Structure 1
Amino acid sequence: MSLFACGDRVVTELDFVRLTKLETSGAPDELSDALELAEQVPSPAVPADVVTMYSQIQILEDGTPQPRTLTLCYPDDAEPAQGFISVLSPVGASLLGLRVGAQARWVTPQGEPRTARVLAILFQPEASGD
């Protein structure tokens, strides 16, 4: 069952191609759903308030007092203790393509449902010309 509605997410065409290749290596259903329903746009056209690959974002998880800063990355660059979260993780897949203010929903590996609001994008590669 998909948690997303068509048009809820935006991904760059480049991210879409790269992430579609990752799907063959056992990507979670959440990522497949996000990619299937996301609007694809050229990198220069992605809005600055959208979470793209290597965006550094601030989220606030429900039930926690302090925001967390995360960077959405590919699996080889993941360092959860430093805030680098793989797009193949449940939280990473749930954040891809969301806009500031949107609610991310995922289920932890222990089966616990979680939600977090995207508070800010501190850095987005496309907005800086990358």
Structure 2
Amino acid sequence: MRTYDIIIKKRNGYSNTRDELRSLIRGFVDGYVPDYQMAAWLMAVYFNHLDAEERLCLTEIMTDSGEKIDLSSISGIKVDKHSTGGVGDKVTLVVGPIVAAAGLVFAKLSGRGLGH
């Protein structure tokens, strides 16, 4: 599946299929889809939007695109305070200990793009 065709389809106002979105995301994560092509697709999305099915598919594909940690061996409710790395984001430093003190298991995970 050619990335160019996925971009053109979205640019022309059509919906991308789950397979097209999976190919695009997997290719980007693996380094086969260059930044300029992803930027072109994102611009097409900006102007033509994602429909509900595309949003669902994209969310599921992105969720499945990374490594997963199995926390099933840890009993109790497990929570995460996710951060996109915004400037001045100090909330995690306060929330983590408070949540842990309340008896919840607290996992702090960083996104792929943060470089941690």
- Does TM, scored on the shorter chain, surpass 0.5? no
Larger Rg: 2
More helix by share: 2
User: Smaller-chain TM-score range?
Assistant: under 0.3
Q: TM-score when scaled to structure 2?
A: 0.25
Q: TM-score when scaled to structure 1?
A: 0.23
